């Protein structure tokens, strides 16, 4: 890659857009630089499941024509981005990281993809992820592993692993992911980028493959807080095609971005610092809290006593909803269809071969939890816990404006470290899950490097419903002091370790 290409790929989304507006850069150059960067690095990173080079080049040409006419759709016009492979893209394969959707080309675009393209952004491809967004390490992808650009032997986090890795590796200037229990915030923290899960209902989910419908939310990832604010402003807002999307007007997320942290009351939950948090992670997070104090914010100790029940409640509710949502993949309407004698056998074979181990585990757990006789004992009880979790936050927000703590108890762990132990994998979600259960906005912003490993650490900020503006303002205040991690070296010779499951053979009679 030439020097000028790396200068282009290193620009923030805002800078790239401004360059096009000033006619100092062309969308074509930016898109070619992104494609070259992907070609040069993705063999090692594994962030992309599909690169839509021709479509991107055509869109870049249109963006450049608009720029030549002095027309501009938005600050994003002409800038290369990419989206998690959970978003429907018209005529472009959309797999949700699963073999069962292999070959499916949706006849329409997800609303968020449409909105990005209406704003002029150029979608250059579809990003790797855990199958159906189930996972915390991207290792449940049915297609290939994805590596952390800061250490290719470690996970980028999941389930939006490709969305974070592509941004960290300077392949694109911004991306979209989804977050059901932490899937934007966790990979953002592991890869040293900024990631925001908006309030439930803030962003349309029309055209997003459903995992757990009462928890799923779409959000942006980028290298700066400002870029995340920009992206959120483009995708947020009511969509008549998603009845769960809110009619509330969308705030101007850039307006208060630079207002600093003075006067902000930052809640520090006791339960987020008790046992299990890696000492180096805790050090970085506490250093960030000290920065807030220095900037004139007030730290307030708070309690979220039901945090410890979050994982149990989430791992009932999410699989229960998943078991229902995944019932539609039967070999008739989408993707994979196994050959079999009768209709029932075809359903069974398709699902047996098309789903990987994790979706199968969740379908079984969820179906069990929803069965007659168990519903009250499990699902209903989990919903009651959910109410208690929400009340914890309501209480806390009486005395603070944002809540701050770790995103995850650890930094990015080695590929393979948790694949044999699903419970261990689930436990890593302890700090991100309650935010989804309570439908609140949450983000991860880099707060330094971990002493021993040198890996990025993310600070989690959780806000009041629909108060993304305050979260972004608080994140920006920290970013101004701490800065972002320097670009990863992605040294040649380093290999992506870890194995994706081999594809099913689909031969008749194969086990
Ligand atoms: N790690 C969690 C899970 O496996 C969260 C995933 C997500 O947010 N999509 O369910």
SS (H, E, C) 128-197: CCCHHHCCCCCCCCCCCCCCECCECCECCCCCCHHHHHHHHCCCCCEEEEEECCCCCHHHHHHHCCEEEE
Beta strand pairing call for 217-222 and 194-197: antiparallel
In this structure, the strands spanning 442-449 and 402-406 are unpaired
386's CB contacts (< 8 A; 6+ apart) are: 313, 317, 437, 438
The neighbouring-strand residues paired with 83 are 126, 176
CA 2 to ligand 1 centroid distance, Å = 38
Candidates 128, 155, 159: which one to mutate for ligand 1, based on the most atoms within 8 Å of Cβ? Answer: 159
319 within 8 A of 366, measured Cβ to Cβ: yes
In this structure, the residues whose C-beta lies within 6 A of any atom of ligand 1 are: 133-136, 159, 179-183, 211, 318, 429
pLDDT in tens, the chain (511 residues): 444 788 999 999 999 999 999 999 999 999 999 999 999 999 999 999 999 999 999 999 999 999 999 999 999 999 999 999 999 999 999 999 999 999 999 999 999 999 999 999 999 999 999 999 999 999 999 999 999 999 999 999 999 999 999 999 999 999 999 999 999 999 999 999 999 999 999 999 999 999 999 999 999 999 999 999 999 999 999 999 999 999 999 999 999 999 999 999 999 999 999 878 999 999 999 999 999 999 999 999 999 999 999 999 999 999 999 999 999 999 998 889 999 999 999 999 999 999 999 999 999 999 999 998 998 999 999 999 999 999 999 999 999 999 999 999 999 999 999 999 999 999 999 999 999 999 999 999 999 999 989 999 999 999 999 999 999 999 999 999 999 999 999 875 444 444 444 444 444 444 3
Rounded Cα gap, residues 504 and 511, in angstroms:
9
Q: Over the Cα atoms of the chain, what is R_g?
A: 22
Token representation of residue 495: 């290999």
Residue 78 in 3-state DSSP?
Answer: coil
Strand order in the sheet with 217-222: 48-51, 122-127, 80-84, 174-179, 217-222, 194-197, 442-449, 456-463, 402-406, 265-269, 298-302
Measured distance CA(495)–CA(145) in Å, rounded: 11
User: What local confidence, expressed as pLDDT, does residue 11 receive?
Assistant: 98
- The Cα-based distances of 314 to 110, 318, 385 in angstroms read 26, 6, 9
CATH architecture of 5-248+257-265+414-425+441-482: Alpha-Beta Complex (3.90)
pLDDT at 495: 44
Residue that is written with structure tokens 């590796």 in the block: 169
The residues annotated with a catalytic role in the active site are 84, 159, 183
| Total-model pTM | 0.95
Domain ranges of the chain: 5-248+257-265+414-425+441-482
User: Are residues 430 and 311 in contact, defined by beta-carbon separation less than 8 angstroms?
Assistant: yes
């Amino acid at each position: 890659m030439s020097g000028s290409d790396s200068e282009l790929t290193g620009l923030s989304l805002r800078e790239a857009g401004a360059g096009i507006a000033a006619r100092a850069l062309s969308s074509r150059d930016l898109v070619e630089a992104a494609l070259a960067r992907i070609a040069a690095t993705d063999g090692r990173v594994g962030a992309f499941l599909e690169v839509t080079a021709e479509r991107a080049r055509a869109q870049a040409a249109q963006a450049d024509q608009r720029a030549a006419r002095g027309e501009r759709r938005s600050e994003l016009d002409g800038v290369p981005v990419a989206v998690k492979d959970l978003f429907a893209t018209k005529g472009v394969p959309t797999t949700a990281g699963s073999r069962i959707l292999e070959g499916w080309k949706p006849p329409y675009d997800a609303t968020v993809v449409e909105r990005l393209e209406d704003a002029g952004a150029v979608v250059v491809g579809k990003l790797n992820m855990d199958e159906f967004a189930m996972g915390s390490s991207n290792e449940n992808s049915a297609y290939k592993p994805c590596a952390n650009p800061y250490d290719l032997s470690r996970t980028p986090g999941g389930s939006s692993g490709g969305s974070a890795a592509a941004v960290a590796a300077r392949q694109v200037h911004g991306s979209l992911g989804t977050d059901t229990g932490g899937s934007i915030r966790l990979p953002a923290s592991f890869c040293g980028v900024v990631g925001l899960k908006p309030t439930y209902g803030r962003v349309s989910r029309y055209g997003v493959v459903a995992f757990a419908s009462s928890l799923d939310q779409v959000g942006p990832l980028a290298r700066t807080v400002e870029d995340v604010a920009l992206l959120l402003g483009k995708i947020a807002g009511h969509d008549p095609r998603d009845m769960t999307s809110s009619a509330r007007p969308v705030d101007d997320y850039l307006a208060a971005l630079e207002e600093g942290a003075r006067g902000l009351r930052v809640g520090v939950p006791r339960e987020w610092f008790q046992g299990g948090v890696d000492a180096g992670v805790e050090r970085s997070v506490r250093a960030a809290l000290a920065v807030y104090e220095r900037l004139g914010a007030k730290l307030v100790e708070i309690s979220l006593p039901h945090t410890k029940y979050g994982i149990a409640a989430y791992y009932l509710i999410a699989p229960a909803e998943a078991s229902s949502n995944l019932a539609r993949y039967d070999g008739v309407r989408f993707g994979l269809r196994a050959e079999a004698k009768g209709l029932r056998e075809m359903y069974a074979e398709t699902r047996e071969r098309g789903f990987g181990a994790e979706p199968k585990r969740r379908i079984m757990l969820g179906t069990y939890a929803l069965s007659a006789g168990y519903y009250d004992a499990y699902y209903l009880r989990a919903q009651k816990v959910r109410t208690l979790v929400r009340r914890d936050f309501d209480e806390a927000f009486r005395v603070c404006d944002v809540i701050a703590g770790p995103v995850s108890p650890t930094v990015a762990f080695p590929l393979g470290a948790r694949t044999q132990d699903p419970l261990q994998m689930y436990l890593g979600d302890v700090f991100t899950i309650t935010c989804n259960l309570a439908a609140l906005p949450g983000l991860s912003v880099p707060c330094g490097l971990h002493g021993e490993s040198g890996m990025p650490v993310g600070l989690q900020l959780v806000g009041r419903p629909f108060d993304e503006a305050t979260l972004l303002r608080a994140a920006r205040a920290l970013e101004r002091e701490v800065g972002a991690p320097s670009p990863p070296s992605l040294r040649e010779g380093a290999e992506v370790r870890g194995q994706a499951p081999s594809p099913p053979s689909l031969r008749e009679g194969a086990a």
